[in-house]
Structure 1
């Protein structure tokens, strides 16, 4: 009989601790609630925002469990942990020491993608830095790279017994008079240069038209191939490489045929060169790879002209340019009046009747100075000012860090648009011309997971032997991560068929 009583007592004790019972919880927005939660099971607390989920889980159950656990410590240990208040609850039973895992979501960073978060994109960057093929963004030709010995051998094969010029390209398609540059070249001992396709002597004070684009190469040496020794040819090539930043240009004197050679990746037709790629060359989070226009975001803030001039039948005087408002006796309107006098219109002319050149100056500004007549100083004053333009004023206000009000005012005229330089691809132009199996890294980043897995499935068939050796271990890591992601998404779709309606690959 005594044995049975002991057994029944043990069973009752087990029943008492099968649940966590919370009685009379009044923490935060909990209104004296009672709840029983089964132990040794996964329980989920759900409800509307503000219904008290966190108050029950963290501020009541977790807080009391932690408080009781800390009370088991010695007085010496508790002095370092500090005291914990008992949550506002009548009674909690069945509670054991607890652990709370912090609620943490992924940071909302505009630079983050699924690829960067899973580190898959890091391996793609490594793959493209080591195993991709570079192409010229000007001609589409495959880029080449040579050693000095290969360059000399190619020159002998191509220009055997021909008279050639060895040139170092230093300026390509840039404006300027270059007077100082020509003087520096003369001081280094070079007496001739090829300017815009013509060999000229560099006399003291020589310069070119500053308003035209120019191409300039230093004439390093002129010789007949095979009549000079390897030593002179090699020294001339090295000198050309030094001044041409890794590129030398060989021109046949009789036919004017031009060939480029470089230690860097280079287009053989145009001489365009790329730096040796590294993983950061394909990162939109690095200045080495990010598009310089949008800084790797793919989108830019641009001023919306339609918001500035919503109705071009309205005059400037009547407030047709929204940021300016209606006419006021102020500096900006005095400046516009000066522009109007020069282009033969007035502020009451409908905006559609203003000459395009004048409207461009009003919006974009001009370095030209205009004489202001309608000023407090009167018509006899000689007061000249250049005009920065309405768009620049809005941009300055939008980027202002001193006035939140001014920033908010400017934002109404700003729209978020696709970057015109990279077209949303986020990388520098040259980074997009490194390809594997005819695809650049952005093409892969934009592919569906299933298509990407399929593309990597037989990639080795499209790689040469050297690429296969380099890419072998990298491909293992990429496929491993793709497999995990694919299985994860398939698991979600299988367990929740309706989820497919809301999630795109």
Structure 2
């Protein structure tokens, strides 16, 4: 029996790689400033690990009724006993709640980025902006008078297909020529495209020579292009004595990338909200993490075979499961007594995620002794678990399945919670989530030193005033070290109370 509780490398929340030895069977008081890590040590490290180890010692049936506990961020703990705790916790438990949202600073961030943020294409990273028809015309007229131009509608930009309907619609609308992959073609001649390859297609709307009296006609042609493409118009400036080669420019009436054809749409505050489906990452629904079935928990011991219960979620004696795996083993040339560690990686992948190959399964029904034969792809253990998880209404079954899941950083947004279009909008080369990852002190410096144009200052003055005011308050109450994306559930009682004052 250990007489001491030994802790090494505790890093939960505010703890900084703490090493500690505590004598057991004594009353110990942990004291310190608010936010110094008292609760992180007592509740989130010692109690959490003691409770986790105790729960792991219970039967799988008992664990079904208990919440799954995460391992605290600590290197080593020795001499730990089962633990109980009574905790005063005043912070939010909502996983979407952060320091930024509770103080409403993030609401002002959303307003600021939607008003003065610079949009970029999240694919090619070029800056994109919206232009009115008059602005497009003014830009075109910067070319020399007498320059010949072609006004065209880019109806397809690097897209696969045959585009028969596009050509038919253009011909029906009275247009005569199209530019396909850089080559000019007449709509009277048959145009055949390989649907397996990407193509770029421009419908030629007008040909003009720049002069002061064509402005109205040019505006009409541009509006026609915008209507056909939902906001895009391509202008080809033909070669002159001064310019040896033709050159093209694509203009956008909306926040669209003329090179990739991706449309951002109108920038509004909801685009930057991870609590709104419009702005949230569609992969993780704005949580920044994805809870998925973990192969290491489903097959915890690769030295076991199917007959020895290698797959923790399956009963090897169940008739249907056994029939499926018997067929799978025959198909991939292994038997049910083969340890999973000896299987090829491709076979393990097929077991977990399924296969497109059809597998012949012979199933004998126990009650009637009838034999059923079916040939179909094997769905995969994880795919089948996902289906059952979303189809079942039983909380008991879902709680059992939760034991085979782990949370990982979302692969789409990399923990940033927002869709890619929102993350491509920047102020001084920083997107909104990069600023939330800053500490209060760093964020205050960023907004204090922010350099804006006269127009941007006029638009953002009141919003910046609110942001600076709230950051100043958090700094003055000693919360300089908190990051704005810090989850409210991880705050100490004292930190939570001071943050509420900021609202």
TM-score over 0.5 for the alignment? yes
Whether 2:217 is the aligned partner of 1:217: answer no
Between the aligned partners of 1:476 and 1:452, the Cα distance in structure 2 is 14
Query: Structure 1 residues 131, 350: CA separation in 2 closer, same or farther (over 3 Å shift)?
Result: same
User: Any gaps of 5 or more consecutive residues in structure 2?
Assistant: 1-87, 240-244, 483-490
- What's the offset of the Cα at 1:343? 4.5
1:202-351 alignment, distance < 5 Å: 212=196, 214-221=198-205, 223=207, 225-226=209-210, 229-251=214-236, 257-267=247-257, 269-326=259-316, 328-330=318-320, 332-351=321-340
Whether 2:468 is the aligned partner of 1:479: answer yes
Partner SS state of residue 285, structure 2: coil
Query: Structure 1 residues 194, 394: CA separation in 2 closer, same or farther (over 3 Å shift)?
Result: farther
Between the aligned partners of 1:260 and 1:473, the Cα distance in structure 2 is 36
> Larger relative contact order (C-alpha < 8 A, sep ≥ 6)?
2
1:133 to 90, 105, 118: 118
Partner SS state of residue 221, structure 1: strand
* Kept after mapping to 2: 8 A contact 1:400/1:406: no
Between the aligned partners of 1:491 and 1:150, the Cα distance in structure 2 is 45
1:374 to 319, 338, 362: 362
1:122 to 93, 107, 113: 107
Q: Who is 1:86 aligned against?
A: none
- What's the offset of the Cα at 1:175? 5.5
* Kept after mapping to 2: 8 A contact 1:171/1:214: no
* Kept after mapping to 2: 8 A contact 1:304/1:413: yes
Query: Structure 1 residues 465, 171: CA separation in 2 closer, same or farther (over 3 Å shift)?
Result: same
Q: Who is 1:390 aligned against?
A: 381
1:110 to 80, 91, 95: 95
Q: Who is 1:454 aligned against?
A: 445
- What's the offset of the Cα at 1:350? 4.2
* Kept after mapping to 2: 8 A contact 1:168/1:247: yes
Q: Which runs of 4+ in 1 moved over 6 A?
A: 159-163, 200-207, 377-382, 490-493, 502-505
- What's the offset of the Cα at 1:174? 5.5
- What's the offset of the Cα at 1:246? 0.9
1:145 to 125, 130, 143: 130
* Kept after mapping to 1: 8 A contact 2:362/2:374: no
- What's the offset of the Cα at 1:229? 3.9
* Kept after mapping to 1: 8 A contact 2:149/2:207: yes
User: Any gaps of 5 or more consecutive residues in structure 1?
Assistant: 1-102, 494-498
1:154 to 133, 139, 142: 139
Deviations 1:328-382, CA, capped at 9 Å, x for gaps: 431x44444545555444544443554555443432234x462525233999977
1:365 to 349, 354, 366: 354
Between the aligned partners of 1:443 and 1:187, the Cα distance in structure 2 is 50
- What's the offset of the Cα at 1:244? 1.3
1:465-504 alignment, distance < 5 Å: 465-489=454-478
Between the aligned partners of 1:217 and 1:342, the Cα distance in structure 2 is 48
**Considering only CA atoms, is the larger Rg found in Structure 1 or Structure 2?**
1
Query: Structure 1 residues 176, 392: CA separation in 2 closer, same or farther (over 3 Å shift)?
Result: farther
Q: Who is 2:153 aligned against?
A: 168
* Kept after mapping to 1: 8 A contact 2:176/2:204: no
Partner SS state of residue 408, structure 2: strand
Deviations 1:187-208, CA, capped at 9 Å, x for gaps: 5556665566666677999876
Deviations 1:226-275, CA, capped at 9 Å, x for gaps: 49944443333222211211122345688675432101234465454422
TM-score, normalised on structure 1?
A: 0.65
